[in-house]
């Protein structure tokens, strides 16, 4: 590991708002971490955590957990959350495959997925974060009538997700093929991440889908 990455990795682990495989928090997020009963939003593959930070500022009465496997990226978000005095933000460094080991059934109230790797190669399909196995895990930790929000640059990933949710019990709440075309865009959709800014520089339309399991 490069020296700078290693330094961030070690620092990340020492931050009070980060948790890892050694902490078993399933079913205990309200009591052990946030110490309140506010609803919990989880951002899947949060990278630098820009979305959870942005949402936490907008909604101080909600709790936010950023999940990613890369500590050096989440280091930035965890540091920013501390600097901004945001006690409603936490991070866990895990593979998304282990989500169900960290959240109890229906413990989560909302999910965001922003600019996931589209994994375009067919053999990598199972790694797509809206593949059926992941959707099953999201259903377990969310239950019904809770929002899943997806923002992506990728037409392929967007189409794939729509195809995967169509045959299961879901309801689309909002579908935008280019968020910039919507008048009065909601504040939470104006938050941008490193990857969103990157795709915007190339004039790629940003797509948004909100759906629920019913
Ligand atoms: C393209 S980046 C997007 C990061 C962030 N959401 C943004 O918009 O800037 C994709 C992120 O997904 C994470 N990721 C991909 N697959 C993952 C998995 N199975 N478990 C945990 N993290 C994963 C990567 O580590 C990376 O930070």
Tell me the best of 47, 112, 196, 204 to mutate to test the pocket of ligand 1, counting ligand atoms within 8 Å of each CB and taking the most. 47
Residue with tokens 């992506």: 152
Distance of alpha carbon 62 from alpha carbon 43, whole angstroms: 13
What pTM value is reported for the model?
Answer: 0.95
User: How is 125-182 classified by DSSP, letter by letter?
Assistant: GGGSTTSHHHHHHHHHHH-SS-EEEEEES-HHHHHHHHHHHTTSSEEEEEEES-GGGS
Give pLDDT tens digits for 86-143: 999 999 999 999 999 999 999 999 999 999 999 999 899 999 999 999 999 999 999 9
Distance of alpha carbon 38 from alpha carbon 181, whole angstroms: 33
CA-closest residue to ligand 1 atom 5: 47
Structural domains for the chain: 3-213 (3.40.50.150)
Strand partners, 90: 65
Would the pLDDT of 164 be above 70? yes
- Residue 19 pLDDT grade (very low, low, confident, very high; cuts 50, 70, 90): confident
CA of 205 to the centre of ligand 1 (A): 20
Tell me the best of 64, 69, 134, 189 to mutate to test the pocket of ligand 1, counting ligand atoms within 8 Å of each CB and taking the most. 69
- Residue 23 pLDDT grade (very low, low, confident, very high; cuts 50, 70, 90): low
Summarize the confidence of residues 198-209 as an average pLDDT.
96
Of all atoms in ligand 1, which is nearest to the CA of residue 70?
A: 25
């Amino acid at each position: 590991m490069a020296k700078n990455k290693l330094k961030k990795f070690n620092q990340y682990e020492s931050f009070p708002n980060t948790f890892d495989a050694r902490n078993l928090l399933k079913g205990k997020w309200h009591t052990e971490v946030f110490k309140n009963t506010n609803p919990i939003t989880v951002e899947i593959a949060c990278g630098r955590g820009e979305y959870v930070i942005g949402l936490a500022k907008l909604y101080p009465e909600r709790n936010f957990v950023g999940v990613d496997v890369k500590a050096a990226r989440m280091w930035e978000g965890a540091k920013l959350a501390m600097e901004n005095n945001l006690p409603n933000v936490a991070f866990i460094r895990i593979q998304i495959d282990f989500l169900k080991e960290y959240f109890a059934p229906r413990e989560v109230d909302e999910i965001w997925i922003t600019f996931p790797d589209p994994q375009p190669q067919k053999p990598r399909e199972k790694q797509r974060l809206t593949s059926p196995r992941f959707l099953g895990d999201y259903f377990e930790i969310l239950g019904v009538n809770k929002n899943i929000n997806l923002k992506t640059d990728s037409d392929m990933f967007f189409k794939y997700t729509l195809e995967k949710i169509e045959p299961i019990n879901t309801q689309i709440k909002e579908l935008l093929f280019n968020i910039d075309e919507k008048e009065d865009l909601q504040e939470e959709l104006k938050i941008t991440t490193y990857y969103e800014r990157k795709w915007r520089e190339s004039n790629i339309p940003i797509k948004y889908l909100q759906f629920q399991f019913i």
